[in-house]
Structure 1
Amino acid sequence: MKLQRMNRRALTLGALAVSGALALTACGSDETGGSGDSTSSATAAAGSVKCDDAKGQLLADGSSAQKNAIDAWVKNFTQACNGVQVNYKGSGSGAGVTAFTQGQVAFAGSDSALKPEEVTASQKICSGGQGIDLPMVGGPIAVAYNVSGVDNLVLDAPTIAKIFNGKITNWNDAAIKKLNPDAKLPDLKIQPYHRSDESGTTDNFTKYLIATAKSDWPYSGGKAWQAKGGQSASGSSGVAQGVKQTNGAIGYMELSYAKDGLGTVAIDTGASAPVKASSDGATKAIADAQIVGTGNDLALKINYATKADGAYPITLVTYEIVCDKGNKADSLPATKAFLRYIASEEGQGILSGIDYAPIPDSIITKVRTTIEGLS
């Protein structure tokens, strides 16, 4: 028992150490942020990871939103299970799903649940089964701004939609004043920044606008930006840089990019108080989500219109996609062992310190049960 307590303490220290080294990267086809060796300070406790018969090379690809979390998990897992090498590329959600349905990887990461045609394609490589979605990582998308003299800013969904759709063009607009009666809003042109590349961040940001301000955001959504006007930049790092360099700018990006002088908008959701982007707020939003997958599939439907206190609505979920049945025999032990670890209390415990959101207990418990049944 004493050894187990020491091992748990060691992993806790590792989680704390890695928190200073990691940052949330962009999602879908986004860049990984170029933060260097994001796991250099991670440590593992060998007794906290159940390796079973895991061995060999475990190949995976997909969402770069979770890349830094994966790196931290891999560091801990492979130190404990030194007979396994985990190679996660982080090439983007689309590339990961394609690699999975072509049988090139044991599992994939995706910021969107599998589409029906992708499930059908997976049945060709999941002998007797199909690909399923396991929600594993959450993340808040911040609306960041750069307006001299404005340290706190509250916006609601219709106002955000009108800003990014070019209908509200000045910071002292009446709609913004109404939400910020005590702020000294300047007579300054608004410069909205959006992504120039196809992005899971754009997909999730516009899903929020469609769900909460449809009359002000008359677009179908997707990874490509559809509204006219505004400034564009490649990657979340490009959007963040553009906003930082432009007084009057506003843009959407993963929370970790909203730093170094940028303010973040508090969203008026109709709850008791406006909510700023945070890991805790994202977890509360995910807790308000609905499981819409069937059978072993745990795909979620985010309630973007949530009014739950403290829930941050502009939140994405990254799934690990794996065969429920028909996994390759040579990689199944390593796949189960790795997924078991990242879904564990210890694995999820790393996330909040590195700008990710842990999956709520009510959902991650189901994920753990599903992992044990993989075959």
Structure 2
Amino acid sequence: MKLQRTIRLRTAAVGALVVSGALVLSACGSDDNSGGSGSETSKAASNIKCDGEGKLLASGSSAQKNAMDVWTQTYQSACSGTQLNYKPTGSGAGIQEFLQGKTAFAGSDSALKPDEVAKSKKVCKSGQAIDLPMVGGPVAVAYKLDGVDDLVLDADTLAKIFDSKITKWNDPAIKKLNPDADLPGTKIQAFHRSDESGTTDNFTKYLNTAAPSFWKHEPAKAWAGKGGQGADGSSGIATNVKQNDGAIGYVELSYATGNDLSTVKLDTGAKEPVEATTDNASKAIADAKVVGQGKDLSLELNYKTKAEDAYPIVLVTYEIVCDKGNKKESLDATKSFLKYTASEDGQKSLAEKGYAPIPDEIITKVRSTVDSLK
């Protein structure tokens, strides 16, 4: 039976957990923004129950790379017997590696497709793969345009920019949204993901839903827009935007803030343009519905929300794992690590990195599901 319950996400501020120590995570491409109190790390680590030993391999979403940095450092400080290796290869690649039996779990910024669930039954011998929402947050539209520090765009204009229908920054459509800005005639360099990505899937779902007259491409993990330039991973887009005047691209907020990039405010039809912030993303995620079946907890997001201060370009990153039939050699360590990430300490550690913790109603179900993994 499909569950369709509206999620009410708490928007109260949460304390930031900062960490120090050696990073065991194998990753690439983005700035490491961690740092702070070792005592806080020790306190969080003391609450972790360590199970299993050896190597725990996972890959997928680069959107959650900075969250994984924090989680891995804290977990490793408590569970030295487990070597966790998470590679931010992109959601598409992560799912494929999981379906090939190469990893214990995968990270994906979009829920599994029906054909992927069907394929998972070969890996999950007595069950199938399920989606566990673990972290949420805004997809920021980052840009670099000399002399312009405040920029407003809407869904229609973004669709035209990323489909090469608007190619100069002083285009009339952009001027109309920014009457007080001194917009130059600089050529727009629109960057998109070259790898299959859940971030792309969510971004194009937003364009297709909020600007259907101008974005005719079906939402997908693979980029389908015309023109533009491809970059590998969120870190690749952030680096290219930072290095090129006139550039624009879509990245998770943590990549924008970590690289000191300006971000677009969205004209959603609300009274005021909406900034990409964790709190504003939380207001949009509050409109999500649980649509997963059985133990699957996949969500349906509302990309057309016009609620005040609700930033609609959001994504939820899922950890994908077998409900039954997980590999015996990695099951205990997988459950131990996911119990920590879903714990109060694990979720509180996300705020400083630009992520939104998962609502209590859902994260409670995630914890219960992790306990039941076999």
TM-score, scaled to structure 2:
0.83
> Quick check: 153-162 or 34-43, which moved more?
34-43
Q: Give the AA of the match of 2:320.
A: I
Query: 1:49 Cα deviation (Å)?
Result: 1.3
Other structure's SS at 1:16 match: coil
Partner of 1:372: 371
Query: 1:36 Cα deviation (Å)?
Result: 5.6
Whether 1:35 and 2:37 are equivalent positions in the alignment is no
Q: 1:194 aligns with which of 185, 191, 216?
A: 191
TM-superposition CA deviations, 1:106-143 (whole Å, max 9, x none): 21112221121221122223232211000112232211
| Residues 178 and 293 of structure 1: CA distance in aligned 2, closer, same or farther (over 3 Å) | same
Query: 1:373 Cα deviation (Å)?
Result: 1.9
| Residues 39 and 55 of structure 1: CA distance in aligned 2, closer, same or farther (over 3 Å) | farther
Q: Give the AA of the match of 2:90.
A: G
Query: 1:38 Cα deviation (Å)?
Result: 5.6
Query: 1:322 Cα deviation (Å)?
Result: 1.0
> Quick check: 262-271 or 221-230, which moved more?
221-230
| Residues 355 and 93 of structure 1: CA distance in aligned 2, closer, same or farther (over 3 Å) | same
Say if 2:16 and 2:351, in contact at 8 Å, map to a contact too: no
> Quick check: 63-72 or 316-325, which moved more?
63-72
Report how many residues are paired. Answer: 352
TM-superposition CA deviations, 1:168-214 (whole Å, max 9, x none): 34434443333233x23335144131226124233322221011101
Partner of 1:151: 149
Partner of 1:74: 72
Partner of 1:15: 17
Q: Give the AA of the match of 1:134.
A: L
Quick one: distance in 2 between partners of 1:154 and 1:69?
28
TM-superposition CA deviations, 1:223-282 (whole Å, max 9, x none): 333333344544444444444444443332232343566421111122342211122223
Partner of 1:303: 302
Say if 1:280 and 1:352, in contact at 8 Å, map to a contact too: no
Query: 1:310 Cα deviation (Å)?
Result: 2.6
Partner of 2:206: 208
Report the aligned-residue RMSD.
2.9
Say if 2:133 and 2:298, in contact at 8 Å, map to a contact too: yes
1:232-247 pair list within 5 angstroms: 232-247=230-245
Whether 1:270 and 2:266 are equivalent positions in the alignment is no
Quick one: distance in 2 between partners of 1:277 and 1:312?
6
Say if 1:193 and 1:242, in contact at 8 Å, map to a contact too: no
Whether 1:176 and 2:178 are equivalent positions in the alignment is no
Percent identical pairs in the alignment equals 59
| Residues 268 and 81 of structure 1: CA distance in aligned 2, closer, same or farther (over 3 Å) | same
Say if 1:240 and 1:258, in contact at 8 Å, map to a contact too: yes
Q: Give the AA of the match of 2:115.
A: E
Partner of 1:92: 90
> Quick check: 121-130 or 315-324, which moved more?
121-130
Partner of 1:27: none
Other structure's SS at 2:336 match: helix
Quick one: distance in 2 between partners of 1:314 and 1:13?
24
Say if 2:280 and 2:309, in contact at 8 Å, map to a contact too: yes
Say if 1:195 and 1:236, in contact at 8 Å, map to a contact too: no
Other structure's SS at 2:85 match: strand
> Quick check: 100-109 or 111-120, which moved more?
100-109
Quick one: distance in 2 between partners of 1:78 and 1:234?
28
Any unmatched runs of 5+ in structure 2? 1-13
- Point out which structure has higher relative CO (alpha carbons under 8 A, 6+ apart): 2
TM-superposition CA deviations, 1:272-321 (whole Å, max 9, x none): 42211122223332222121210100111221112233322112221111
Q: Give the AA of the match of 2:58.
A: A
Q: Give the AA of the match of 2:220.
A: G
| Residues 166 and 37 of structure 1: CA distance in aligned 2, closer, same or farther (over 3 Å) | closer
Quick one: distance in 2 between partners of 1:100 and 1:244?
33
| Residues 159 and 342 of structure 1: CA distance in aligned 2, closer, same or farther (over 3 Å) | same
Q: Give the AA of the match of 1:35.
A: D
Q: Give the AA of the match of 1:287.
A: A
| Residues 277 and 39 of structure 1: CA distance in aligned 2, closer, same or farther (over 3 Å) | same
Say if 2:93 and 2:196, in contact at 8 Å, map to a contact too: no
| Residues 310 and 33 of structure 1: CA distance in aligned 2, closer, same or farther (over 3 Å) | farther
| Residues 166 and 67 of structure 1: CA distance in aligned 2, closer, same or farther (over 3 Å) | closer
1:271-350 pair list within 5 angstroms: 271-350=270-349
Q: Give the AA of the match of 1:116.
A: P
| Residues 166 and 344 of structure 1: CA distance in aligned 2, closer, same or farther (over 3 Å) | same
| Residues 343 and 161 of structure 1: CA distance in aligned 2, closer, same or farther (over 3 Å) | same
Query: 1:34 Cα deviation (Å)?
Result: 4.2
| Residues 147 and 65 of structure 1: CA distance in aligned 2, closer, same or farther (over 3 Å) | closer
Quick one: distance in 2 between partners of 1:81 and 1:247?
45
Say if 1:130 and 1:323, in contact at 8 Å, map to a contact too: yes
Quick one: distance in 1 between partners of 2:314 and 2:232?
21
Quick one: distance in 2 between partners of 1:127 and 1:172?
57
